[in-house]
């Protein structure tokens, strides 16, 4: 897949830094609310952007994760909490790991350490995603729960449908399926994943261009 440019902006650092990374080897954008204590960081580079999960790059996952945290006596991050999910657990986990890597000045007084301080990570990819596989007509099995798979429908998961991203492998078979949770029960997500595994996908030979194995769409409830 051709992801031409990813821009990562870390306002949390003592001096703001901008990293431009070609293709999909990316650092996410990290944007701090005004209350982020950049003046309490241990030094330049003390709050590096987190690594973008390779699995998330396969799916072209994007979103924003909002966290809060406090500072320990030794300057380490404590009490990290997820305030708003990106919708994708692997991105949220990477954001939590990223904030845990930040280091602040040791020996701060209790008022400075208490917080809670906010941090938002914006996971964004720029550029052309490439030609994606299309659903093979009539390939999905009949289901009493689901009406159909709707490719390119990126509406959030809800009771009316589950947003999925996955990779299409040999024979047009979906694999490594990731479901956006968005407050829906695990049983619904598992059924949607099982349903889309019955579908098959092919590339449209009439569409030229670099091919991508990633597909996004929703399994729609009846």
Nearest residue to 64 via CA among 86, 42, 84: 86
Q: Are 222 and 152 in contact (CB under 8 A)?
A: no
115-157 tens-digit pLDDT: 899 988 888 877 666 788 999 999 999 999 999 999 989 898 9
pLDDT on residue 54: 80
The domain ranges of the chain are 5-123, 134-221
Compute the distance between CA of residue 221 and CA of residue 214 in angstroms, rounded to an integer: 22
pLDDT at residue 13 is higher than 90:
no
Which of 30-39, 95-104, 116-125, 168-177 is least confident?
30-39
pLDDT on residue 69: 94
pLDDT at residue 20 is higher than 50:
no
Compute the distance between CA of residue 165 and CA of residue 150 in angstroms, rounded to an integer: 12
63-88 tens-digit pLDDT: 889 999 999 999 999 999 999 888 78
Give the pLDDT mean for 42-61.
83
Structural tokens at position 139: 């390939």
Nearest residue to 96 via CA among 157, 51, 39: 51
Compute the distance between CA of residue 173 and CA of residue 170 in angstroms, rounded to an integer: 6
pLDDT on residue 51: 82
Burial class (CB in 10 A: 0-12, 13-18, 19+), 36: buried
pLDDT at residue 17 is higher than 70:
no
In 72-152, DSSP assigns E strands to 77-84, 117-123, 134-135, 146-151
* Other beta carbons within 10 Å of 185: 10
pTM (two decimals): 0.64
CA distances for 64 relative to 13, 124, 191, angstroms: 19, 8, 26
Helix (H, G, I), strand (E, B) or coil at 34: coil
Nearest residue to 220 via CA among 169, 172, 152: 152
The larger pLDDT score, comparing residue 51 to residue 161, is at 161
pLDDT on residue 40: 93
* Other beta carbons within 10 Å of 134: 16
162-220 tens-digit pLDDT: 999 898 988 999 998 989 888 899 999 999 999 999 999 999 988 888 788 889 999 99
Structural tokens at position 104: 């602040």
* Other beta carbons within 10 Å of 91: 25
pLDDT on residue 176: 87
Which residues are registered as beta bridge partners of 67?
Answer: 82, 119
pLDDT at residue 61 is higher than 70:
yes
CATH of 5-123, one of 3.40.50.300, 3.30.70.2190, 3.30.2420.10, 1.10.3720.10: 3.30.2420.10
């Amino acid at each position: 897949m051709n992801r031409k440019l990813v821009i990562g902006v870390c306002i949390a650092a003592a001096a703001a830094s901008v990293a431009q990374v070609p293709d999909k080897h990316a650092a996410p954008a990290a944007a701090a609310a005004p209350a982020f204590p950049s003046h309490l960081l241990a030094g330049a580079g003390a709050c590096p952007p987190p690594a973008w999960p390779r699995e998330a790059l396969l799916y072209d996952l994007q979103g924003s994760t909002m966290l809060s945290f406090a500072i320990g006596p030794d300057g380490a991050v404590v009490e990290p909490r997820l305030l708003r999910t990106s919708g994708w657990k692997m991105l949220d986990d990477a954001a939590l790991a990223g904030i845990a890597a930040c280091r602040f000045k040791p020996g701060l007084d209790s008022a400075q350490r208490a917080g809670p301080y906010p941090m938002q990570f914006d996971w964004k990819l720029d550029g052309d995603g490439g030609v994606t596989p299309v659903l093979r007509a009539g390939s999905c099995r009949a289901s009493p729960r689901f009406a159909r798979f709707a490719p390119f429908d990126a509406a959030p998961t809800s009771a009316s449908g589950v947003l999925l991203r996955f990779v299409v492998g040999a024979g047009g078979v979906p694999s490594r399926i990731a479901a956006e949770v968005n407050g829906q029960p695990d049983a619904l997500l598992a059924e949607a994943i099982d349903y889309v595994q019955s579908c098959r996908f092919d590339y449209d030979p009439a569409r030229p261009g670099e091919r991508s194995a990633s597909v996004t769409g929703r399994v729609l409830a009846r």
